[in-house]
Amino acid sequence: MYGSLSEKPSVARGGGQHLLIATDDPATSELLSTTLELAGYRTGTAGTLGDALARLAEHPFDLVVLDMTVPDLEGFDTRSRPVVAHRPAVLILTPYDSLGKVLPELGLGERDYVTKPLRIAEVLARIQVLLRDRSVVWRDSALEYGDLVLDDATCQARRGQRVLDLTPAEYRLLRHLLGNAHKVLSKEQIARYVWGEYRGDNAIEQLVSRLRRKVDRGGPALIHTRRGFGYWLGRTGDEAGTGQEANAPLS
């Protein structure tokens, strides 16, 4: 039997990412749509693989939940498939304990699978892992991380409905942190990106402090200090690791 909505998985909630559910089973579609919406994701549905690829060609979904029992999976004509420029992660639902029937022509990014009957806690956990390194999403010229948006076309940033009044140096710092979400950046890395040269710890600390006040005011903190290493951007539920190449100790 399918997992029930009463399950209480101990995984982080979604941050508004767009998920596409491709299945021809109405019960599975309703269960996943309801559960994922309650978990903080935005969902769309497709009843066939063809419909799913058409939707992917129109909209940059962050992840696809693909049921391997969709009727047009076998013998799908790859020559007529829509062009998919954005390559989301894929979570495969399969009655087989194998990935042998994964459709390679999808050409999609990271993949994982869960076996049927579905366990909702496992589905949510797999989705969290697949999206962990894809938290920053490109929308046209804009970088998005949850409710934080940085638009390179206008050189403006906002948090939710609040426009952030950033100086050029603050904008460059935010872009560097956002482009390296969940990675700790040393003071030297930050200084060379922002100014092209190292300017000393005090200048960097003051710049980070000013940016933090603007970005984190009125919302959950996104900019954090890893004492002795540097700074990182992300939700506290997705802690930055200490084994990253960026984690050179501060001098």
pLDDT tens for residues 48-91?
988 998 888 888 788 899 998 888 776 554 444 555 556 788 89
Domain borders along the chain are 18-134, 138-233
Position 199 scores a pLDDT of 84
From the options 1.10.10.10, 3.30.360.10, 3.40.50.300, 1.20.910.10, give the CATH code of 138-233.
1.10.10.10
Position 110 scores a pLDDT of 67
Position 78 scores a pLDDT of 43
* Sheet architecture: strand order including 162-164: 137-139, 142-145, 148-151, 156-159, 162-164
Position 138 scores a pLDDT of 63
Tell me which residues of the chain have a pLDDT lower than 70.
Answer: 1-13, 15, 74-86, 96-110, 132-141, 237-251
Let me know how many helices (H) and strands (E) the chain has, helices first.
Answer: 6, 12
Position 250 scores a pLDDT of 36
Residues 102, 91: Cα–Cα separation, whole Å: 10
Strand-strand pairing, 142-145 and 42-46: unpaired
Residues 163, 144: Cα–Cα separation, whole Å: 14
Maximum distance among all Cα pairs of the chain, rounded to whole angstroms: 62
Q: Supply the Cα-derived Rg of the chain in whole angstroms.
A: 20
Instruction: Read off the pLDDT of residues 183-212 as tens digits, 9 standing for 90 and up.
Output: 899 999 999 889 888 888 899 999 999 999
Q: Check if CATH label 3.40.30.10 holds for domain 18-134.
A: no
